[in-house]
Amino acid sequence: MSIHSIDNPRRELFYWATVITTFALGTAAGDMTASTLGLGYFASGVLFAVLIALPALAYWRLGLNEILAFWLAYILTRPLGASFADWIGRPQSLSGLGLGTGWVSLGLTILIIGFVAYLTVTRKDIKV
């Protein structure tokens, strides 16, 4: 489903169910690779960075359908972000840098506000 075709309540419910599911499964996948498989948070983040590049490369070089490429990349954003956020925030005894979740949350909040402000001012997200 294209995000541009979410134009009725049924499609919107499907979209939000997908978002919630990918968040839950993505966090679990990041934790599984970091803890259960023993990669640690940084290596887990690198793994998901490589995996998220694959749909982009397949779209760019192999002509992968843009909607499929989007959803494949979207699914991987959660474990990617969770792995790096955990790496920065978790204690060193758990393979993290030990900055704490408060600082990670503050930093990410500032980044999000900055990106939203940038798009609001430049309007680069608006199709002409």
Q: Where are the domains of the chain?
A: 3-99
Q: What is the pLDDT at residue 127? A: 80
Q: Which residue has the higher pLDDT, 43 or 18?
A: 43
- Residue 73 tokens read as 């990349």
Residue 2: the pLDDT is: 66
Asked if residue 125 has pLDDT above 90, the reply is no
Number of other residues whose CB lies within 10 A of the CB of residue 45 = 24
Q: What are the angstrom distances between the C-alpha of 48 and each of 26, 96, 105, 124, 126?
A: 10, 17, 20, 27, 29
* Residue bearing the bigger pLDDT, 111 or 26: 111
Whole-prediction pTM: 0.79
Segment 3-24 shows an average pLDDT of 86
